[in-house]
C-alpha cells in the first residue's frame, strides 16, 4: 500500500511578498510548487494538498470594500471570502499540477474539494485576533485604515510592514474527511482545506452557519492528516529549516526536534505568532496524534533526505 502524505503549502506557493499578485504570477508559482510535489509522487506517496490564502483572501476583502464604496455592493463576510479563495486557488493549483503531470507523462485525477471546518463560536481566539490576512501596509496606512474601519493590525515579525489580523479559532471537525481519504488512497491527488477551511459553527442544533474568522491552515492540515491516518505531514514555508534565535547573531537552524523540545521553544516564545508558531503547534499535534514524523521545510527541499526540520515523538 502506498504511503499517504498531507502537504500544506505556504502562502508563497502562489503569491510572494515582492509580487503584485497577478494570475500570471500565481500560476508560475503554483507550477514551480507542483514540480516539487513530483518528488513525493515519484517516491510512491499518495498526496493530499492543502494551502494558505492569506494574501488572496485579503485582496478579496479589499475588492469587496472597493465595490461597496463605489457601487453600493453588499459587504460579504470573511467566511464567504474564504470560500471564494478556495475556489480560485484550488483551480490554479489543480491546473498547474495537471500541466506538470502531463509534462512528465503521469496521469492522475486532481480533485479540488470546497471544505468547511467546524469551530466553537466561544473560542477565546475571537477575543484576541492574531491571524494576519491581506497585504502589508506602512504603520501610517494601518493606523488610518484601523481608524476608518475598526480593523486591527499587527507588525510583521520580519519587519515587512503591518497586516490586518483576525480571529483564528481552533479547527474541530473537517467536513468530508472520509471522502478525502478514500479519493487520496485510490491514487487521486486531492486539494482540500484551502485557507484552513471555511469556518462554520452550530447556530442552533442541526443548523450550521459561517462565522467571521480565518482558521490556521497548518492546524487544519494537521487535523486532517490525523483524521485520514496520513503517514507524514509536510508543512511548507519560505525557509528551509526552523530556526531558534531567529534573525539574531545566535540564529541556529534545527535538523531534528522532539515534541518536548518544540514545546519548550514555544514556551520560550522562540517562534512568532502568525508565522512559525502555528506551524510548530501543527507539527506537534500531528506527531502526538499519529506517532509519525512531521517535516517543516521550503518547497525546494521537499522530499530531499535531511531536508527541513523533522519533528519527532522522541
Q: Report the catalytic residues.
A: 11-12, 131, 217, 279
**C-alpha 74 chain-centroid distance:** 28
Angle, in degrees to the nearest 10, between helices 217-227 and 276-290: 10
Q: Give Cβ neighbours of residue 273 (< 8 Å, ≥ 6 apart).
A: 130
DSSP string, 263-282: HHHHHTT-S-TTTHHHHHHH
Alpha helix (H) residue ranges in 133-258: 139-149, 177-185, 217-227
Number of Cβ within a 10 Å radius of residue 68: 13
Nearest CA to 238 out of 32, 5, 22, 20 is that of: 32
DSSP H helices, the chain, are 23-42, 54-71, 78-103, 139-149, 177-185, 217-227, 259-267, 276-290
Residue 295: closest CA among 309, 284, 285: 309
CA atoms within 13 A on the CB side of 6: 34
> In whole angstroms, what is the distance from residue 171 CA to residue 194 CA?
13
User: How far apart are the C-alpha atoms of 35 and 197, rounded to whole Å?
Assistant: 25
As given in the structure block, the three cell numbers for residue 120 are 466553537
Q: What does the buried/exposed string (b/e) look like for 208-247 if buried means 16 or more CB atoms within 10 Å of the residue's CB?
A: eebbebbbbbbbbbbbbbbbbebbbbbbbbebbbbbbebe
| C-alpha grid cell, residue 50 | 492543502
Amino acid at each position: 500500500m502506498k504511503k499517504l502524505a498531507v502537504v500544506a503549502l505556504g502562502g508563497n506557493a502562489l503569491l510572494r511578498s515582492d509580487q503584485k499578485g497577478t494570475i500570471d504570477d500565481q500560476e508560475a508559482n503554483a507550477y514551480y510548487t507542483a514540480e516539487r510535489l513530483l518528488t513525493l509522487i515519484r517516491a510512491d506517496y499518495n498526496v493530499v494538498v492543502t494551502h494558505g490564502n492569506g494574501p488572496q483572501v485579503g485582496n478579496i476583502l479589499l475588492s469587496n470594500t472597493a465595490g461597496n464604496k463605489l457601487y453600493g455592493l453588499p459587504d460579504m463576510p470573511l467566511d464567504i471570502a474564504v470560500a471564494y479563495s478556495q475556489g480560485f486557488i484550488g483551480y490554479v493549483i489543480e491546473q498547474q499540477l495537471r500541466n506538470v503531470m502531463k509534462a512528465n507523462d503521469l496521469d492522475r485525477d486532481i480533485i479540488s474539494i470546497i471544505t468547511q471546518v467546524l469551530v466553537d463560536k466561544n473560542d477565546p481566539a475571537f477575543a484576541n485576533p492574531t491571524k494576519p490576512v491581506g497585504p502589508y501596509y506602512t504603520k501610517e496606512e494601518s493606523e488610518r485604515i484601523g481608524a476608518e474601519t475598526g480593523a486591527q493590525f499587527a507588525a510583521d515579525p520580519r519587519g515587512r510592514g503591518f497586516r490586518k489580523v483576525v480571529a483564528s479559532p481552533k479547527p474541530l471537525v473537517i467536513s468530508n474527511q472520509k471522502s478525502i481519504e478514500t479519493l487520496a488512497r485510490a491514487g487521486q491527488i486531492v486539494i482540500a482545506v484551502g485557507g484552513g477551511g471555511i469556518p462554520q459553527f452550530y447556530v442552533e442544533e442541526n443548523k450550521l452557519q459561517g462565522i467571521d474568522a480565518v482558521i490556521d491552515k497548518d492546524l487544519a492540515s494537521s487535523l486532517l492528516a490525523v483524521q485520514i491516518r496520513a503517514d507524514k505531514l509536510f508543512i511548507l514555508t519560505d525557509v528551509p529549516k526552523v530556526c531558534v534565535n531567529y534573525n539574531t547573531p545566535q540564529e541556529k537552524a534545527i535538523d531534528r526536534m522532539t515534541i518536548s523540545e518544540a514545546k519548550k521553544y514555544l514556551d520560550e516564545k522562540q517562534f512568532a505568532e502568525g508565522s512559525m508558531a502555528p506551524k510548530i503547534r501543527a507539527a506537534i499535534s500531528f506527531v502526538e496524534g499519529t506517532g509519525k514524523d512531521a517535516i517543516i521545510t521550503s518547497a525546494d527541499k521537499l522530499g530531499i533526505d535531511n531536508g527541513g526540520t523533522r519533528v519527532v515523538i522522541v
